[in-house]
């Protein structure tokens, strides 16, 4: 994984945790991004482009309020894509229930920006989609 991609990923996490969608769009996402989110709607949702990311951000806020953050655990370089493990911490805006979930994301880049991002509520699902086991992977510290 290039140093540029790691720097982009760190900017993304910082902007996400600050709930700054405009910084995420400006510095991290390609205009034609496709984002599959499992955390904004029952059964998940797919968002396209920068306007789609703004909708995702509103949907995320409705579900989680401002109390949501990503804590990176490990990244794995898979050539054309990267797998990341996080702990997602939040509090449901309606229920008030605190949540800590071990999640995964898969990202692909074009022109040094994320063009594809898919979130998984279960790490095993991401590994299965990628056709790899965690034992085969060499982690990169966040």
Per-position b or e across 82-113, b if 16+ CB within 10 A of its CB: bbbbbebebeeeeeeeeeeeebbbbbbbeeeb
Q: Which residues contact 4 (CB under 8 A, 6 or more apart)?
A: 112
pLDDT beyond 80 at 129: yes
pLDDT band at 33 (very low <50, low <70, confident <90, very high): very high
> Do strands 29-37 and 113-120 pair parallel, antiparallel, or not at all (unpaired)?
parallel
Domain 3-132 has CATH 3.10.450.50: yes
pLDDT of residue 130: 95
pLDDT digits (tens, 9 = 90+) for 70-108: 999 999 989 889 999 999 998 876 777 788 999 999 999
pLDDT of residue 5: 78
pLDDT band at 49 (very low <50, low <70, confident <90, very high): very high
Domain ranges for the chain, please list them: 3-132
The closest alpha carbon to 38, from 94, 102, 81, 82, belongs to 102
């Amino acid at each position: 994984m290039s140093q540029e991609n790691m720097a982009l990923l760190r900017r993304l996490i910082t902007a996400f945790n600050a709930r700054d969608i405009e910084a995420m769009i400006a510095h991290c996402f390609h205009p034609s991004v496709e984002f599959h989110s499992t955390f904004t709607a029952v059964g998940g949702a797919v968002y396209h482009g920068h306007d789609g990311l703004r909708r995702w951000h509103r949907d995320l806020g409705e579900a989680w309020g401002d109390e949501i953050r990503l804590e990176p655990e490990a990244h794995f370089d898979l050539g054309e894509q990267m797998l990341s493990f996080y702990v997602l911490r939040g509090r449901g805006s309606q229920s008030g229930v605190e949540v800590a979930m071990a999640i995964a994301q898969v990202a692909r880049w074009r022109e040094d920006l994320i063009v594809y991002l898919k979130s998984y509520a279960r790490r095993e699902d991401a590994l299965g989609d990628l056709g790899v086991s965690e034992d085969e992977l060499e982690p990169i510290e966040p």
